[in-house]
């Protein structure tokens, strides 16, 4: 069997990427630091996925094992040396922590074999694999970097499937929605791009990732921050609240207008994409907590992320992102105690005041119209 190494045996790792790799003929070595998870995968060498929706489906995934990278770095090195593909789904903030081991493994691999290898970061962000590449390169010598340039591809990717936090009796079971989309940038691939069922190799990834990030993730985050302000606990309930849905639709009208203008999307096709997204959020079989979708507000308020990036781009196009400014304002009020980034943002506001905090977290220029809009909306909540 072909060999895949996947960092992160969590929800997207098991519930999406791992399954597609196995379905495509790979044996998957999950790399994780959660000892219980690793031990259980190794004990069972398989796990179940439940697709929840109007037509429920069960899938049993086999041909998997797991490596505890904290306890067994040597096993990880060997897996990297033999891998036919490497993927990650660990969270954007964790990419820098896997870079040292990845760099070491790649350096060893390139001494032994010069075969093309692609490393795809499946994280909710623009340029995830490129960011991982920059971290990995920090740990390589100039000679090793040159070898990597020749043989190791880091194709950026867009991944789309809602996998909520899991609360199942079986700790390996993952319940997922039926919808799934995975696209990767063929222009960044090395060698023949690996054929993986469910993975589409595209030439214009920027359009795919921004369509996904600024529709699915912007919409989801908007709903979550507005719902949190109203004390609503889950996305399904939030979708029954007319004022929240109205605001989400305004946000989608804004990001839709940006995307249609920027990438030349067909307006009718994009309307259908928005409708599909809204339907996915209304899935009654999926229990998705508001605090999961809102998690990491510092990251989500970042200049390149799902809220501020479309707002800044709209302003540059001469449009007024009023609904986006409202939800950015709501995000500054996400003070959930169980979220470290939420606490950090709240402390930042208390320490330096709202004005500085908006500037620090969003990097929106203080003299811009967008800054004034966000400041007004945040103060008005």
Ligand X SMILES: NC(=O)C1=CN([C@@H]2O[C@H](COP(=O)(O)OP(=O)(O)OC[C@H]3O[C@@H](n4cnc5c(N)ncnc54)[C@H](O)[C@@H]3O)[C@@H](O)[C@H]2O)C=CC1
Which part of the chain contacts ligand F6P (CB under 6 A), choosing from 24-32, 104-112, 127-135, 289-297?
Answer: 289-297
- Helices 128-137 and 142-151, packing angle to 10 deg: 150
216 contact choice in ligand X, ligand F6P, none (CB below 5 to 8 Å, kind-dependent): ligand F6P
Question: Is 15 annotated as ligand-binding?
Answer: yes
Phi, psi for 13 (deg, rounded to 5): -60, -55
Tell me the residue number closest to ligand X, measured at CB.
10
The token duo for 185 is 């940038």
> Which residue, 68 or 283, is less far from ligand F6P as judged by CB?
283
H or E segment and range at residue 19: helix 18-23
HSE (side-chain half, CA atoms, 13 Å) at 62: 1
Closest by CA to 220, choosing from 251, 242, 257, is: 251
**Candidate list 132, 136, 196, 293; residue touching ligand F6P; CB under 6 A:** 293
Assess 313 for contact with ligand X (CB under 6 A). no
Q: How far apart are CA 105 and CA 78, in angstroms?
A: 7
Q: Which is nearer to ligand F6P, 126 or 140 (CB)?
A: 126
Residues 129-168 that bind ligand X (CB under 6 A): 159, 161-163
- Per the DSSP assignment, residues forming a β-bridge with 31 are 7, 67
Let me know: does 211 contact 265? Beta carbons within 8 Å.
Answer: yes
User: Can you read off the two tokens belonging to residue 4?
Assistant: 């895949």
Answer yes or no whether residue 89 interacts with ligand X by CB under 6 A.
yes
95 vs 259, beta carbon nearer ligand X = 95
Pick from 127, 296, 302, 321 the residue near ligand F6P by CB under 6 A: 296
4 belongs to an annotated ligand binding site: yes
* Under rule CB under 6 A, residue 217 binds ligand F6P: yes
Kindly give, in sequence order, each residue whose CB lies less than 8 Å from that of residue 51, ignoring residues fewer than 6 positions away: 57, 58, 59, 175, 176, 177, 178
Q: CB-based burial of residue 137 (10 Å sphere; 0-12 exposed, 13-18 middle, 19+ buried)? A: middle
Compute the least distance from the CB of residue 34 to ligand X, in Å. 4
* # binding residues, ligand X (CB under 6 A): 27
The crossing angle, in degrees rounded to 10, of helices 322-331 and 369-380 is 50
Check whether 12 is labelled as a binding-site residue.
Answer: yes
Query: What does each C-alpha distance from 370 to 4, 65, 329, 376 come to in angstroms?
Result: 44, 49, 11, 10
What residues numbered 153-192 form the site for ligand F6P, per CB under 6 A? 160, 162
Q: Of ligand X, ligand F6P, none, which one sits near residue 220, judging by CB under 5 to 8 A according to partner kind?
A: ligand F6P
Structure tokens at 175: 């319940």
Site for ligand F6P contains 295 (CB under 6 A): yes
Residue closer to ligand X, measured from CB, 7 or 252: 7
Residue from 3, 23, 97, 207 binding ligand X (CB under 6 A):
97
| Structural contact between residues 49 and 58, judged by C-beta atoms closer than 8 angstroms | yes
Residue among 190, 220, 298, 377 that touches ligand F6P (CB under 6 A):
220
**Most distant pair of Cα atoms in the chain: their distance:** 61
Q: Give the residue with the Cβ less far from ligand X, 124 or 378.
A: 124
Backbone torsions φ then ψ of 234, nearest 5 degrees: -135, 160
Encode 44-65: b = buried (16+ Cβ within 10 Å), e = exposed.
Answer: eeebbbbbbbeeeeeeebebbe
Q: Pick from ligand X, ligand F6P, none: which does 176 bind, CB < 5 to 8 A by kind?
A: none
**Residue 7 binding ligand X, by CB under 6 A:** yes
Residues that bind ligand X (CB under 6 A): 7-13, 31-34, 37, 69, 89-92, 94, 97-98, 122-124, 159, 161-163
- Which segments are annotated as binding site? 4-15
Residue numbers belonging to the annotated binding site for NAD(+): 4-15
Residues that bind ligand F6P (CB under 6 A): 124, 160, 162, 216-217, 220, 293, 295-296
């Amino acid at each position: 069997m072909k060999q895949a190494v996947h960092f992160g045996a969590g929800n997207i790792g098991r519930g999406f990427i791992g399954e597609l790799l196995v379905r495509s003929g790979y044996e998957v070595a999950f790399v994780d630091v959660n000892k219980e998870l690793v031990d259980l995968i190794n004990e069972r060498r398989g796990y179940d996925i439940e697709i929840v929706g109007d037509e429920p489906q069960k899938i049993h995934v086999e041909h998997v094992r797991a490596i505890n990278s904290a306890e067994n770095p040597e096993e990880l090195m060997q897996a990297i040396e033999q891998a036919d593909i490497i993927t990650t789904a660990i969270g954007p903030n964790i990419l820098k922590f896997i870079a040292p081991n990845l760099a070491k493994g790649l350096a060893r691999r390139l001494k032994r074999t010069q075969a093309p290898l692609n490393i795809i970061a499946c994280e909710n962000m623009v340029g995830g694999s490129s960011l991982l590449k920059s971290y990995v390169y920090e740990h390589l010598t100039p000679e090793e970097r040159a070898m990597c340039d020749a043989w190791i591809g880091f194709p950026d990717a867009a991944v789309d499937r809602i996998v909520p936090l899991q609360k199942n009796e079986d700790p390996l079971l993952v319940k997922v929605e039926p919808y799934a989309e995975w696209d990767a940038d063929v222009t960044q691939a090395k060698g023949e791009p690996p054929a993986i069922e469910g993975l589409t190799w595209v030439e214009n990834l920027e359009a795919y990732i921004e369509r996904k990030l600024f529709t699915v993730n912007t919409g989801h985050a908007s709903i979550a921050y507005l719902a949190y302000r109203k004390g609503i606990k889950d996305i399904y309930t939030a979708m029954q609240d007319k004022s929240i849905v109205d605001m989400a639709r305004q946000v989608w009208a804004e990001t839709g207008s940006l995307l249609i203008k920027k990438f030349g999307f067909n307006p009718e096709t994009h309307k259908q994409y928005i409708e599909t997204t809204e339907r996915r959020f209304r899935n009654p079989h999926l229990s998705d907590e508001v605090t999961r979708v809102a998690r990491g507000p510092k990251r989500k308020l970042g200049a390149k992320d799902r809220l501020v990036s479309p707002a800044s781009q709209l302003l540059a196009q001469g449009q007024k992102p009023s609904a986006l400014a409202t939800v950015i304002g709501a995000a500054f009020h996400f003070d959930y105690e169980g979220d470290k980034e939420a606490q950090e943002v709240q402390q930042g506001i208390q320490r330096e005041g709202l004005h500085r905090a908006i500037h620090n977290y969003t990097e929106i220029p203080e003299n811009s119209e967008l800054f004034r809009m966000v400041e007004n909306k945040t103060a008005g909540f």
